[in-house]
Amino acid sequence: MAQRQEQEDAKTEVTEVAPNILRMQLPISMPGLGHVNCYALVDDEGAALVDPGLPGTPTWKALADRLKQAGLRTKHVHTIVVTHSHPDHFGGATRFVKENGARVIAHRNFRFGLPQTEPEVSVEDLAAQRDARAAQAREDPAAQAKPRVDPWRGPTPWGGERPQPPAEQRRRWSRMRLAKGGFVPAISDPVEHGNVLRLAKRDWFVLHTPGHTEDHICLHDPEHGTFLGGDHVLPTITPHISGISSSRDPLASFFYSLDRVAEISGIKQALPAHGHPFSDLRARTEAIKRHHFERLDKILEISRDIGPATVEAVSKGLFRERSWGPMAESETYAHLEHLRLEGRAESVRGKDGKLVYTLR
């Protein structure tokens, strides 16, 4: 499978993607991704940055380089907008707060707690990236694949093991949290659905779009038809929908959010957090929903074939063997719970503590 847009390495050039909006690609090292898009919204006072990347020196140096190309410096950043509570979106914010006194805008329910439970992207997209790297390693022995992610040992709602980031990443985040000031920013300007922000010399409407995370927001500029989408709508991959959530039905929340976004008229440019800008926002939301509807149909088919089954058993029918494990189970659980809450399945907890689902 060809490399997806979102997996491409960060490029150093800065491009203007809409009036007073600069796209700056920042390098990241996370499963399934090669870069994160940080957008600079320029005004007479300097700039606001949307999703300033991971914490640490490499991100700061990359930001300084990109801003310099645009005739700006890090001291000119007065505002940080965080689309959701994943470190590749908020990690660079704290340094701007410390050095510039920058304000930080995020949803009022912004929350990040360690250990972080889930990767960013769907199981298939992670597996496709691993396959591509394996093929590269066969052609070039010097090319090394990223280490396998080991699962947590701990309870989950379905009775399986819990997904986790790579061990070194967890250790790095733990060190940063213990350091003076940590790396999780205090939100100075919490927002909610319907609020209006003045950025890049125009008004932006805040859209609360839960699903990928419960605190995800997007921004809509009706004047120029611009949509800042974070991870909610990505151009070629699907964001991870976790079964580990305080939401009763995270998949239903995601569908609802996609539908509300699809209703927005006049979008000329959708600016995602990973991958390239695109124009047909409605078509992409419909494609993402079709992907999940097909998965729900596949789960029903598997359940008819194997009868009452655990989340692990259903996930092994749903995904290829390369993807088996806690993350696949988490996605499967989110879909099974959606079916249960719609009345199309039921579940009981076995003596071993694992949920067993039966098709109705």
Q: What is the mean pLDDT of residues 38-45?
A: 98
Residue 220, pLDDT above cutoff 60: yes
Of the pLDDT bands very low, low, confident and very high (cuts 50, 70, 90), residue 32 is confident
Q: What is the mean pLDDT of residues 151-156?
A: 60
| Angle, CA of 138, 144 and 149, to the nearest 5° | 115
Q: What is the mean pLDDT of residues 263-276?
A: 98
Of the pLDDT bands very low, low, confident and very high (cuts 50, 70, 90), residue 241 is very high
The answer to whether the CB of 334 falls within 8 A of the CB of 251 is yes
Task: State the pLDDT at residue 337.
Answer: 97
Task: State the pLDDT at residue 176.
Answer: 58
Residue 246, pLDDT above cutoff 90: no
**At 346, phi and psi to the nearest 5?**
-135, 160
Residue 292, pLDDT above cutoff 90: yes
**At 30, phi and psi to the nearest 5?**
-140, 145
**Prediction pTM value:** 0.85
Task: State the pLDDT at residue 127.
Answer: 63
Q: What is the mean pLDDT of residues 132-142?
A: 46
**Burial of 10 per CB tally in 10 Å (0-12, 13-18, 19+):** middle
Residue 356, pLDDT above cutoff 80: yes
The Cα–Cα gap between 102 and 140 comes to 45
**Burial of 71 per CB tally in 10 Å (0-12, 13-18, 19+):** exposed
Domains contained in the chain, CATH given: 5-116+173-287 (3.60.15.10), 126-161+295-359 (1.10.10.580)
Task: State the pLDDT at residue 78.
Answer: 98
Task: State the pLDDT at residue 162.
Answer: 79
Task: State the pLDDT at residue 145.
Answer: 31
Task: State the pLDDT at residue 166.
Answer: 64
